[in-house]
Structure 1
Amino acid sequence: MRSLFLVPLLFVSALAHAGFRLMIPNGINVPNPCTNVFGLWNAVGHNIEIGGGAANVFGADFVTANTKWTKDLCQKDSDMDGKTNGEELGDPNCVWTAGATPAGDATGHPGICEPMSSANCMKINVNITCI
């Protein structure tokens, strides 16, 4: 019984691993769409900006891609806001590799539909928690 409880905790802990931010372009510089001032979203793959808890749609897609930045993940629009993950993370041509400098800056969050106040995004972002 105890092992059934530990497995989900280990999985959540693994998803929140800060090293994953280095496996996507501009992973340490993803804008925080919850703020009106410059801020960063520290847990790109999670519904909560500080990490932990459930994965957001980008986090789930990242796990499906075996925690690798792939062309398919780059070309996908995980958060359904009309921009590909690559466009939002500064890799519009999907050529970035780990350790390289992205083509541009991150302009959005690949796991949070933006603008958050739009009717469409309010439905999609129902599980996002702004702190």
Structure 2
Amino acid sequence: MLKHLPIVLCIVFVVVAKPPYQNQIPNGDKVPHPCNPELIWNAVGHNDANIGGSQNLNPFGKDFQEASHTWTQDLCHKDSDNDGFTNGQELGDPQCTWRVGTVPVWTPTGHPGIYESIYPCSRVYIG
């Protein structure tokens, strides 16, 4: 049992590390996976749906980092993935009125860091 403790602690750390950032953006825990909307993209600012890391940031992640990990008016109005929809529209805050600790009025409609229509779904696991 003790020989597995370091692995368990690492897993707990990884799981605990994501929610603080998810809570800093509207619907951060509900962003749909572009290849399968029934799945959630847990690491919204990263290229991998479930794994973070500073070398793995998508365009939204870079913009979020630039905004000091804060949901700002500028970040909300920006179109990080250049798909024609603002980050606010995609995250369910089209009017950019959401504040940390409140419940977003709308559900997310897309992913702010991934241009869905050109995302290579055939190359990812969508199970």
TM-score normalised according to structure 2 size: 0.77
1:19 Cα offset (Å):
1.1
Aligned residue for 1:34?
35
Q: Any residues of structure 2 matched to 1:78-97 within 5 Å, and which?
A: 78-97=80-99
Greater gyration radius: 2
| Structure 2 unmatched ranges of 5 or more | 1-13
Q: Any residues of structure 2 matched to 1:90-109 within 5 Å, and which?
A: 90-109=92-111
| Structure 1 unmatched ranges of 5 or more | 1-12, 116-120
Overall identity of the aligned pairs, in %: 51
Contact 1:76-1:84 within 8 A present in 2 as well: yes
1:18 Cα offset (Å):
2.8
Aligned-residue Cα RMSD (Å) equals: 1.8
Aligned residues: 106
Q: Which has the higher strand share?
A: 2
Q: Which has the higher helix share?
A: 2
In the TM superposition, structure 1's runs of 4+ consecutive aligned residues that sit over 6 Å from their partners are: none
1:30 Cα offset (Å):
0.2
* Aligned equivalents of 1:56, 1:130: Cα separation in 2: 16
Q: Any idea what the Cα deviations from partners look like across 1:17-55, whole Å, max 9, x if unmatched? A: 3310000000000000022x5110010000011113410
Aligned AA (1:55): L
SS in 1 for 2:38: coil
* Aligned equivalents of 1:99, 1:112: Cα separation in 2: 25
Aligned residue for 2:20?
19
Q: Any residues of structure 2 matched to 1:41-52 within 5 Å, and which?
A: 41-52=41-52
